[in-house]
Amino acid sequence: MNLRQFINLQFYRLRYKMQEWKLKLSQRYEDLDKKGREKLTIMVIPHTDRKTINFVISYKTISIFIGVVVVLLVISAVNVLSHSGSVHQLTELNLTNKDFIRQSSKMKDEVNSLHETIQYYYDKISNLYIKLGGDPARVSKGMGGSNQFFAMQGTPQTNISEESFRIKEDIHNLKLSSELSDEIIKLIKKRKNIIRNTPSIWPTKGYVLFPFGKYLSPITGKEEFNRGLDIGSFPGAEVIVTAPGIAYETGFSPATGYYVKVAHRFGWKTIYSNLDRIKVKKMEKVSKGDVIGYVGKTPENPIYHLHYEVHVGTQALNPFSFLNQIQE
């Protein structure tokens, strides 16, 4: 048997099977139709003398009625389930909305707290920047506040838009604070050399005996002007230089006792007098904190103390303004 004969054989077999199925379906349909034409009599017999009522209904009508009832029940069930699903969805949406409102309120409080922290940080950075001699024009609020922004944009102000703008303003201020911090670091590096060479420590351990300016002298009993600071101390206490420099002059006088004058960079000069003895030589280079002498007294002033002066050029300044006020 070749391929063609095999295919023909299978085709005829399939055709025979289809005719057989068609015949069976036709026979089944005729049986159902015959069964559906059969009549069913329903009798209603009253308990009175009324006439008996007969209802004749075919099986086909009963089947159609039951089918309609089943279809209606299915449609009703689908509607009920759909309505229940809608109610469930509405309940979930209501819960989601309440949770969203609660989360939004919490986020608003956190944004306000963050805004206050950023504003505090920005104010501190900008004030430090200005105190260090920075350009005040660089210090600004950036966007000018939310109310001014919405007035310029011509848009209504809402809670969401206000919080959104506040976040943008905080981001702007953080960026500006970062830039100002970099500028502050540059300014500090530039001034670090000046600070290092500025007299800024106590020259000896003690207490302020007579301050800078006018005071009543216990020796003369008159009001005099003190060009420096008199620091009371014990005899022989170490006297240290308050900034690096060169001891350009040393000597003795009855009024001041032994003294040392030190020249520093940037025009600073310091004078140490009422010394018992001197430890440095003229034109000797000294570093900050080096011992240059010891506390003593003079024939005119029997009190053990150090007379300390700070000068810029020829101008005498109040030394107390520099003591421990400037740090590296």
For the stretch 170-180, pLDDT in tens is: 888 888 888 88
Q: Model confidence over 228-262: pLDDT tens digits? A: 899 999 999 999 999 999 999 999 988 888 999 99
pLDDT the model gives residue 108 = 81
Q: What is the pTM of this model?
A: 0.46
Rg (CA), the chain: 54
- Per the CB < 8 A criterion, the answer to whether 52 and 44 are in contact is yes
The residues with which 239 forms a beta bridge, in sequence order, are: 293
Low-confidence ranges of the chain (pLDDT < 70): 1, 36-37, 140-161, 324-328
Torsion of CA 45, 46, 50, 55, to 10 degrees: -40
pLDDT the model gives residue 149 = 44
CA 181 to chain centre: 16
pLDDT the model gives residue 294 = 94
List the domains of the chain with CATH numbers: 113-196 (no CATH), 207-321 (2.70.70.10)
* 72-97: burial string, b at 16+ Cβ within 10 Å, e else: eeeeeeeeeeeeeeeeeeeeeeeeee
pLDDT the model gives residue 51 = 76
Give the integer Cα–Cα distance in Å for 177 and 155: 29
pLDDT the model gives residue 279 = 92
